[in-house]
Amino acid sequence: MISLQHGSSAKNGFHGFNGIRNGVKNAEKISHSLALQVLLEKIDQRTYPETIREEIPAIISHWLQSTNEPPLLVGKKEASAWAKLLKSEFGAGTAKKFPVIDYTVVPFPPPKKARFTFIDLFAGIGGFRVALQKMGGKCVFSSDWDKNAKTTYYENYGEVPFGDIRRLSSEKLYSGRVDLVCGGFPCQPFSIAGVSKKLSLGRKHGFEDENQGILFFEVAKIIKRHRPKAFILENVKHLLRHDKGNTFRSILHVLEKELGYHVHSNVIDAKNFVPQHRERVFIVTGKQIGRAHSELQSLREISYAVFCLKKKNSECLIW
């Protein structure tokens, strides 16, 4: 493991490097981890505002997966400087061409040709991402604030997730088109176990839990900003009954009345697919009011796939 300069490793909560740099020069292709490592070593992270310094591994690793888009939070100028740096460090021939960033060593590399784009919220270790990439989806933004989840995610997908979504949800997370947003927003404020624990500690639950209970509204903000054609949200089954159903009614109100989506929800038990009785409510949409069906064909397949999960041995695209 390399130690990142300027104390960034501990602060940005990302420890997932195995920084082997074996004198690569004049390469047409370099590994994503080498590109990230070199940029983190060469750029002076102290020149960035303190508020974004901890997100630098996420900013760069996201940019490396979409170098034709401006990087989040820092802008185009930085990207030109980073591209120049990689060209001068590795670029082949006198023309010093920008090297191809190679993800072949990653277990779940980004698709070569994307059928659709998606945002992966509360990404954890990337359960949604595995499935969506398999369907040809390209992840354009991921976030999870847990340092172990970040490290695992990086190992799996070659991308460091951004941190606390509450600090980013008002930003445009990706400058291109976003087709789908997915996320299993934290369930403790709504689960039976979580609610009784919070009550026993005299803490608030549901939407009144100011830290975790309001994260659905961050998702709603992101949906409003990016207007994806579809979304898949997931939570514990008890979300349906929490506060006599008022919590779920509020969620539906926001998604349907305020954001204008047709929404479907269903409880799916993962026991037909994994050795665990695990019931979760899935809230999906494949149709935005007023949009033509044809535009949404591939994304409607996703909603369909989620509902297929109910049926044992069904032909299922997700999971």
Ligand X SMILES: C[S@@+](CC[C@H](N)C(=O)[O-])C[C@H]1O[C@@H](n2cnc3c(N)ncnc32)[C@H](O)[C@@H]1O
- Which residue sits closest to ligand X, CB atoms considered? 124
Q: Residues 182, 187, 308, 316: which is the catalytic one?
A: 187
At 91, list the tokens. Answer: 């670029």
Told to judge if 316 belongs to the known catalytic residues of this protein, a careful annotator would answer: no
Residue 182 CA to residue 233 CA, distance in Å, equals 6
Q: How far is the CB of 129 from ligand X (least distance, A)?
A: 8
Using the minimum distance from each CB to ligand X, give the nearer residue, 251 or 296.
251
Beta bridge mates, 121? 183
Residue pointed to by tokens 């996703």: 302
* Nearest to 99, CA basis, from 114, 108, 112, 86: 86
Q: Quote the CA–CA distance of 112 and 122 in Å, as a whole number.
A: 25
SS (H, E, C) 64-89: HHCCCCCCCCCCHHHHHHHHHHHHHH
Provide, rounded to whole angstroms, the least separation between the CB of residue 21 and ligand X: 31
Least separation in angstroms between CB 152 and ligand X: 9
Q: How far is the CB of 163 from ligand X (least distance, A)?
A: 6
For residues 146 and 243, which CB has a smaller minimum distance to ligand X in the complex? 146
Closer residue to ligand X in complex, CB, 12/143: 143
Nearer to ligand X, 85 or 149 (CB): 149
How far apart (Å, rounded) are the C-alpha atoms in residues 273 and 280? 13
β strands within the chain, DSSP E: 29-31, 100-102, 116-121, 137-142, 180-183, 230-236, 261-269, 279-288
**Cβ–Cβ < 8 Å for 26, 162:** no
Closest approach of Cβ 218 to ligand X, in Å? Answer: 7
Q: Which residues bind ligand X (CB under 6 A)?
A: 122, 124-128, 143-146, 149, 164-166, 184, 186-187, 215
Give the CA count within 13 Å in the CB-facing half-sphere of 275: 0
Would you report the helix, strand and coil content of the chain in percent, each value rounded to 5?
40, 15, 40
- Looking at the Cβ atoms of 205 and 287, the one nearer to ligand X is 205
Q: Which residues are catalytically annotated?
A: 187
